[in-house]
Structure 1
Amino acid sequence: MGNQKYVVNHYSVDNILNWAKSGDIAIPEIQRPFVWKASKVRDLIDSLYNGYPVGYIIVWSNHSVKLKDGRKSDGKKILIDGQQRITALMTSLLGNEVVTNEYKKIPIKIAFNPKEKKFEVRNAAIEKDAAWIDDISKIISNDVNLLKITKDYCKNNQNVDEDQIFESINTLKSILNNPIGVIELNANIDIETVTEIFIRINSQGVALSQADFAMSKIASNETYEGNLIRKCIDYFCHLSREQDIFNFIKANDNDFTKTEYFNKIKWIKDYNDILYKPTYTDVLRVAFTSEFKRGRLQDLVALLSGRNFETKTYEETVVEESFGKLKSGILKFVNENNFKKFIMIILSAGFIDLSMITSKNALDFAYILYLHLINQGMKQGEISKYIKKWYVMSVLTGRYSSSPETQFDIDIRRINEIGINQYLSEIESAYLSDAFWNIALPRSMDKVVDSSPYFKVYLAAQVKNNDKGFLAKDILIRDLITNKGDVHHIFPKEYLNKNGLNKSKYNQIANYVLMQSEINIAIGAKAPNEYLKYVIEQCNGGKLTYGSIDNIKELKKNFRMNCIPEKIIDYTVKDYENFLEERRFLMSMKIKDYYYNL
């Protein structure tokens, strides 16, 4: 093909449907929910009927690989774009069922009015209306007598032109002969070029991820159980969110339920304490990086294609070995013991709620590290220490916030070369110096969102230390988080607003605290020096006004665990900026102490 990156051909709708039915094109998403609305299926049929363009289907040829006997083998074409359109055609024209978001199998029936030459999604009214042919698949998918259908229609509809009706129905039948453009991408082009071509051709400009290509590549190879691996990944991810699909799998995918993969993932349907809800990208990244010691998913696509990085050739032995390693990595990811123990480690670090997880990439690499250390035979206690510190370090430093796959690649290679202990020490020396704790981290907390990763780590430190809510005698931070308690303002926002401070000022992280709502409501818009005056009084024998702390020692302890400077009892709006600086530093010191005691 030379430098030609793709060729454009036109094939009939009938050809494309036959490819899909015979498996000549691998459609990896066939078991996943159909996301188009029924009205969009109707519009597609209407466009075909009227001869309008319906976009291109994009396929990427699999590499020819060298077999063990020296021959070359051509694999299936991988469908890169057009799955929804092909599925829409199969359900509307052939009567096939699609999988809904509720994991129910239903057909989408499109009705046709030959007099008006209009299409609609079939409904109860249309079924009773003789002017409509209620299901076009009865005409399209069967060898039917169009003249008889025409005469039957005219018998039931007075004052219609029989020739016109026949022409309309015949045009509908001929949809199967309509051409659809197919862009066939050269097997030798790289993923980046495929992505660029896709973006330029796709009118919506929706970029495909490396994981999308990997999943398509996996699904296209049934020789080494790629189709089962793909289902294992998909079903595990969906079961972690929608437990009801377990019944769908049992009812609709009997072959899969007989495999080892099903037995390895079915436990997740009963697991409610889920802090980590992986997507297929997460599963692929973790399985690939932990097993192959590489971080870039484009390398996985190359390996699954048979790429020998040393000889720069494509070999069947590489395909076989790569699928074997990938299967091993996937099964380790979904292993009940591995998954639950990893989650317990993250929970034990104080991250007790999904809302506290601000970096899925950091969580992914923490699981990669866990599986790597398990493979090395490290004791569970040591593993726990390294996982907690690595995860917190990653979140605090934003380690995987940009180019995560590149950083994954660097980190796993270094850990594999020099070991986790030495590598983590090097990172701590480089990124967690005194300057980080004393200057960089406090400055980083000059933020206005309570979803900040620094605030979430601070809350995790409070959970780990069994700290109590602000001005609370018995209620723990843990309780306030798990019961979805509110984040409140130490300097009430109404008070600050009345004194001329805007949202960017009063919604500072350093002004946030977890507090019982009833205490916050009672405080209202009072300045700290005003409401804390009553707290001091109740600590000296006065009536309980704000919370139930009734002695000074307990109050000072509560201030310390919530990083509140004791001088706050005299603070008004003029002290607010100084208060923020003081509290940011105290919060940073708390996080530092927490980190080094993990």
Structure 2
Amino acid sequence: MRISQILDKVDSGDIALPEFQRGYVWTRDQVREFFQSLYRGYPIGGFLTWSTKAETTQTRGNGAARDGAIHLLLDGQQRVTTLYGVTHGRPPRFFEGNPATLTGLHFNLDTEAFEFYAPAKMKDNPVWVDVSSLLQQGLAGHFQQVTELTQGDGRLYGPYIERLNRITQIKERDIHIDEVTGQDKTIDVVVEIFNKVNSGGTKLSKGDLALAAICASWPEARPTMNAALSTWSDAGFDFKLDWLLRNVNAVLTGEAQFSKLADVDVPTFQKGLTETIDSIAHLLNALGGRLGLDHGKVLSGRGAFPVMSRLLHDHGGRFPDAMTRDRLFHWYVHSFLWGRHTGATETALNQDLQALEDGGVDQLTDLLRRSRGGRLEVRPDDFVGAGMGSRFYPLLYMLTRVHRAQDLGSGVPLRDGMLGRLSSLQVHHIFPKARLREYGYNRTEINAVANFCFLTQDTNLRVGARNPADYLAEITQRVPDALESQWIPVDPRLWRVENYLDFLAARRELLSYAANDFLDTLHDGPSPVDLMAATRTGLPPTTVAVAEPAGDDVPGLASLLTEVAKAGFAAPELDSEVIDPRTGAAITVAAAYWPQGLQEEVGAPVVLVLDPTAKEQGALEASDYRVFHSADALRQYVRNMRAQHFEQ
């Protein structure tokens, strides 16, 4: 099929440029080199489309509506977007990227080079031809420019016209298009086909394709979802499009697979999306109010949200009563503590959604309890995890909030939205990192969750790196009961650095008792400890639990994280437990952890573990983790992935 026909079909809606999550990723250099290849007649590869049904499809370009099938462009999105943008002089509709990447391309009649507009050398210089103008007007619109440039010199006129004609003929070039079609070509099948065909490039996720199919029938789906994500981000919660789509899928179909959305018509999806957005906002309010989980750093268990969204949907978007709310939150906390939705996400979600359908929250809890050998209990050793990526870090924060733990300096109960200078909450190492390093403790021991507590910024600055044997003794005199409110052992012998491991063991005992007591209260019914006396409107204010600079004690990690962000890859969890997806048990603590891969939802999980034991290394490899032992080794992997990230 000729390129001109492909672009016409984009405008007519026969071919749609799918709204994949990554958007447009090419640079100006890639656009320039692509047109240089087209001009010279080099191979540029074929395209792959997926034929799927569309309901009154609003197409790009002229916005005409059509019924029937539509061809979603799977392989070739960047190339067709580039051709469309340069040919039309503007990006296609719903373009996500820098429009300047596609506008201003010029061609030098003398050197036959493509460059983007630079006023200093191109303004009023007829040797430079606007490529978009040439492709739109054809040769006829540029005869006068060439005539004035050559001033009757036939030796130049002929070659110049021939060069311009080669550019106009780009639109007549034939491109081979493979089509995936048939009722058996579900989202799961098409994603598998695409990722095999495109093995060297960016992978496609099931969520990408499901959203592309929805946008083919309702182009405003993606902007509507992005608006909700932006609202939550402003409130301190960063979610992904795939995650929101999974919630909508569960609400509308009661199942986890994205392929189920193929049977959902546009009006039903629109209504379901609105209900889901409202339900998630209600859940965030309730979780912030009842459990104190009021910002993204402590909101674990996001994989459980589709189940909770479905429950709210079944009850008109609200909890039917406080008992149901509390028992659901009891299940939710235990689900993330035991890694319920790690690994095979769709399998666990389908089991949970079916349990919810069959017997409500009680059956959900029974299913989770059976998967845990009949017991849902937090034990002291569970708090052995380290870092803010540990599953038990959010639990510590939750206990701090629901029990109104006191600030060690002022004795004021810690809560969200505290007013005043230096009153925001911060993470505090009870035993300072510097003193523990001097004594020879390792990173995992230093960053143990049981060594964390929460303080106001003012108190944190006052305590600083003081010896706990000194400042904890002062607190017991100045602020009685403050240590007990934060489950800090009051035996002075445990405040000595040489007894640090004994201190951790004692505090883990106290924390596990407090955790079980509160979780049992949730299961048994509402208690006086209920932060949410009345449902709040809007989203909860954000409390920022400030971390220390990322990678401060891992050589090269801070610069690696900057490089990862610039490459457009996912942000990792730092100092995080790595979970065995088969059992939900913690394997080790990683300096950096990408549980969904560098490109979320489609890559192998990646972990940076500095000194794993042989047992830990074996468990990581058996769980199909991509393991790196230094920031430099991981950096090379990132660069290799980035080189493959763009279509060739």
TM-score tier by shorter-chain length is 0.7 to 0.9
1:285 aligns with 2:243: no
Counterparts of residues 383-422 of structure 1 (less than 5 Å): 383-422=324-363
Match of 2:269 in 1: 326
Select 1:515's aligned residue among 451, 455, 459.
455
Match of 1:352 in 2: 294
Deviation at 1:562, TM superposition (A): 1.1
Say whether the 8 Å CA contact 1:373–1:383 is kept in structure 2: no
Select 1:343's aligned residue among 279, 284, 288.
284
Match of 1:69 in 2: none
Q: Mean Cα displacement is larger for which, 187-196 or 52-61?
A: 187-196
Deviation at 1:367, TM superposition (A): 2.2
Output the CA distance in 1 between the equivalents of 2:43 and 2:391: 47
2:381 maps to a residue whose letter is: R
Deviation at 1:433, TM superposition (A): 6.0
Match of 2:381 in 1: 443
Say whether the 8 Å CA contact 1:366–1:390 is kept in structure 2: no
- Give secondary structure in 1 for the equivalent of 2:255: coil
Say whether the 8 Å CA contact 1:288–1:295 is kept in structure 2: yes
Counterparts of residues 501-580 of structure 1 (less than 5 Å): 501-536=441-476, 539=477, 549-550=478-479, 554=480, 557-568=481-492, 570-580=494-504
Distance 1:102 1:63, change over 3 A: closer
Deviation at 1:117, TM superposition (A): 0.7
Say whether the 8 Å CA contact 1:96–1:107 is kept in structure 2: yes
Output the CA distance in 2 between the equivalents of 1:82 and 1:483: 52
Distance 1:533 1:347, change over 3 A: closer
Match of 2:552 in 1: none
Instruction: Summarize deviations over 1:253-280 as a string: whole Å, max 9, x none.
Output: xxxxxxxxxxxxxxx6xx8873555433
1:363 aligns with 2:324: no
Distance 1:484 1:182, change over 3 A: farther
1:178 aligns with 2:177: no
Output the CA distance in 2 between the equivalents of 1:594 and 1:298: 39
2:501 maps to a residue whose letter is: E
Deviation at 1:431, TM superposition (A): 3.3
Say whether the 8 Å CA contact 1:528–1:570 is kept in structure 2: no
Match of 2:49 in 1: 59
- Structure 1 alignment gaps of length 5 or more: 1-10, 66-72, 221-225, 243-267, 305-321, 540-548
Say whether the 8 Å CA contact 2:475–2:483 is kept in structure 1: no
Output the CA distance in 1 between the equivalents of 2:54 and 2:285: 45
Instruction: Summarize deviations over 1:142-181 as a string: whole Å, max 9, x none.
Output: 244254443233249x998333222211111111122333
Distance 1:573 1:533, change over 3 A: same
Match of 1:29 in 2: 19
Deviation at 1:92, TM superposition (A): 0.6
Match of 1:110 in 2: 105
Deviation at 1:16, TM superposition (A): 1.1
Instruction: Summarize deviations over 1:224-260 as a string: whole Å, max 9, x none.
Output: xx32xx51x3223322355xxxxxxxxxxxxxxxxxx
Distance 1:239 1:63, change over 3 A: closer
TM (normalized to structure 2)? 0.70
Say whether the 8 Å CA contact 2:51–2:71 is kept in structure 1: yes
Say whether the 8 Å CA contact 2:308–2:328 is kept in structure 1: yes
Say whether the 8 Å CA contact 2:369–2:376 is kept in structure 1: no
Select 1:300's aligned residue among 241, 246, 261.
261
Match of 2:620 in 1: none
Select 1:140's aligned residue among 125, 132, 135.
135
Counterparts of residues 460-471 of structure 1 (less than 5 Å): 460-471=398-409
How many residues align? The count is: 505
Say whether the 8 Å CA contact 1:61–1:77 is kept in structure 2: yes
Match of 2:426 in 1: 486
Distance 1:589 1:178, change over 3 A: same
- Give secondary structure in 1 for the equivalent of 2:378: helix
- Give secondary structure in 1 for the equivalent of 2:114: strand
1:240 aligns with 2:228: yes
Deviation at 1:416, TM superposition (A): 0.7
- Give secondary structure in 2 for the equivalent of 1:437: coil
- Give secondary structure in 1 for the equivalent of 2:106: strand
Distance 1:86 1:54, change over 3 A: same
Output the CA distance in 1 between the equivalents of 2:364 and 2:301: 21
Distance 1:240 1:62, change over 3 A: closer
Distance 1:136 1:205, change over 3 A: closer
Say whether the 8 Å CA contact 2:250–2:256 is kept in structure 1: yes
Q: Mean Cα displacement is larger for which, 291-300 or 526-535?
A: 526-535
1:458 maps to a residue whose letter is: L
Deviation at 1:428, TM superposition (A): 4.1
Q: Mean Cα displacement is larger for which, 478-487 or 447-456?
A: 478-487
| Max Rg structure | 1
2:275 maps to a residue whose letter is: K
1:369 maps to a residue whose letter is: L
Deviation at 1:352, TM superposition (A): 1.1
1:194 aligns with 2:190: yes
Say whether the 8 Å CA contact 2:139–2:165 is kept in structure 1: no
Q: Mean Cα displacement is larger for which, 131-140 or 42-51?
A: 131-140
Match of 2:60 in 1: none
Distance 1:206 1:273, change over 3 A: closer
Distance 1:37 1:355, change over 3 A: same
Distance 1:477 1:122, change over 3 A: same
1:96 aligns with 2:39: no
Deviation at 1:505, TM superposition (A): 2.2
Counterparts of residues 156-175 of structure 1 (less than 5 Å): 161-175=156-170
Counterparts of residues 248-267 of structure 1 (less than 5 Å): none
Say whether the 8 Å CA contact 2:450–2:504 is kept in structure 1: yes
CA root-mean-square deviation:
3.4
Match of 1:372 in 2: 314
Q: Mean Cα displacement is larger for which, 285-294 or 422-431?
A: 422-431
Distance 1:339 1:449, change over 3 A: closer
Deviation at 1:597, TM superposition (A): 2.5
1:453 aligns with 2:391: yes
Say whether the 8 Å CA contact 1:80–1:216 is kept in structure 2: no
Output the CA distance in 1 between the equivalents of 2:91 and 2:53: 32
Distance 1:428 1:399, change over 3 A: same
2:258 maps to a residue whose letter is: L
Deviation at 1:462, TM superposition (A): 1.2
Match of 1:50 in 2: 40
* Structure number having the greater helix percentage: 1
- Give secondary structure in 2 for the equivalent of 1:62: strand
Distance 1:162 1:199, change over 3 A: same
Distance 1:183 1:470, change over 3 A: farther
- Structure 2 alignment gaps of length 5 or more: 56-66, 523-648
Output the CA distance in 1 between the equivalents of 2:455 and 2:319: 41
Kindly, what percent of the aligned residue pairs are identical? Answer: 23
1:332 maps to a residue whose letter is: E
Say whether the 8 Å CA contact 2:288–2:294 is kept in structure 1: yes
Output the CA distance in 2 between the equivalents of 1:563 and 1:473: 14
1:46 maps to a residue whose letter is: Q
Say whether the 8 Å CA contact 2:237–2:295 is kept in structure 1: no
Distance 1:435 1:427, change over 3 A: closer
Deviation at 1:33, TM superposition (A): 6.0
1:409 maps to a residue whose letter is: N
